[in-house]
Amino acid sequence: MTRTPLTDHVTVEEMTDSHHGLDNDCPQALAGNLMRTAMKGEEARAILSAHAKQDCRLLGIRGYRCLAENNACGGSEFSAHMEALAMDFQPDPDLFELRAAWDVLRNHPTFMLDVDQLIIERGCLHFGLPTARHNFIPRHELRLDADVNGRRTYPLFGIWTAPHA
Ligand SMILES: [Zn+2]
C-alpha cells in the first residue's frame, strides 16, 4: 500500500481514498485546501496528545470527497469534504471517548477560531473549515449526533465563542 506523506502523521491516501471503489483523487485546484485540512488535523492531534499526556493517534482519517463519493456516503449537499476542507477521524479509543475529545477541542482556547463546524458524526469527529458558501467566515458550530426516528441528525449544541481574556 502506498503511503504518501502529506503532513507528519497524515497521508494523501488517508485523505483521498474512496470507501466506495470510486476515483476520488483530489483535484490539483484543491491541493492547498487538502494540506490546510491535514494541518488542522495535526493541530487536533497535538491538542489531544497534550491533554492525554501521550501521543494520540488519529484513526480512520477521511478527507476529500468528490461528488460521487459524497453521494455514496450520504454526505450533505454542501459538504465541506467536497472542497477538501473537512476531516473525519477517530481519536485513539484507548485515550478518548468521542464526546470527551469533542469537549477537549471545543474547550481549547484557540482550536475553534477557524473552524466552521465541529461535529460528532457517525462514530467520528468531523471538523470543517470555512467554505466559499459561507464567504469563508467560520460559523463556529458545535454539533452532536442524534437518532431521530432512525434518521441520523446533527442538532446544534451551541456556537463557540472565544474565551474572555
Ligand atoms: Zn465529515
Q: List the one residue out of 36, 28, 60 whose CA is nearest residue 126.
A: 60
Count of CB atoms within 10 A of residue 98's CB?
17
Alpha helices, H only, the chain = 12-16, 31-52, 67-72, 98-107
pLDDT value for 88:
97
**55: CA distance to ligand 1 center in Å?**
23
Q: Please report whether residue 1 resides in a domain.
A: no
pLDDT value for 128:
98
**52: CA distance to ligand 1 center in Å?**
24
Q: What is the CATH number of the domain that holds 51?
A: 3.30.1380.10
Q: Please report whether residue 3 resides in a domain.
A: no
In terms of phi and psi (left: phi > 0; alpha: psi -120 to 50; beta: otherwise), the region of 53 is left
What is each CA distance from 96 to 53, 104, 123, in whole angstroms?
Answer: 12, 10, 12
Which regions in the chain score pLDDT beneath 70?
Answer: 165
- Per the structure, the complete domain to which residue 152 belongs is given by 12-159
Q: Please report whether residue 87 resides in a domain.
A: yes
Q: Please report whether residue 67 resides in a domain.
A: yes
Contacts of 156 by beta carbon, 8 Å cutoff, 6+ apart: 141, 142, 143
| E strands in the chain | 58-62, 86-91, 117-121, 124-128, 141-143, 146-148, 151-153, 156-159
Q: Please report whether residue 136 resides in a domain.
A: yes
pLDDT value for 165:
60
Q: Please report whether residue 145 resides in a domain.
A: yes
User: Could you give the number of structural domains in the chain?
Assistant: 1
**100: CA distance to ligand 1 center in Å?**
18
Which pTM was predicted?
0.95
pLDDT value for 2:
82
CB neighbour burial string for 105-140, b if at least 16 within 10 angstroms, e if fewer: bbebeebbeebbbbbbbeebbbbbbbbeeeeeebeb
Residues whose beta carbons lie less than 5 angstroms from ion ligand 1: 86, 88, 126
End-to-end CA distance of the chain: 48
**165: CA distance to ligand 1 center in Å?**
31
Q: Please report whether residue 30 resides in a domain.
A: yes
The residue to which cell 456556537 is assigned: 159
Q: Please report whether residue 27 resides in a domain.
A: yes
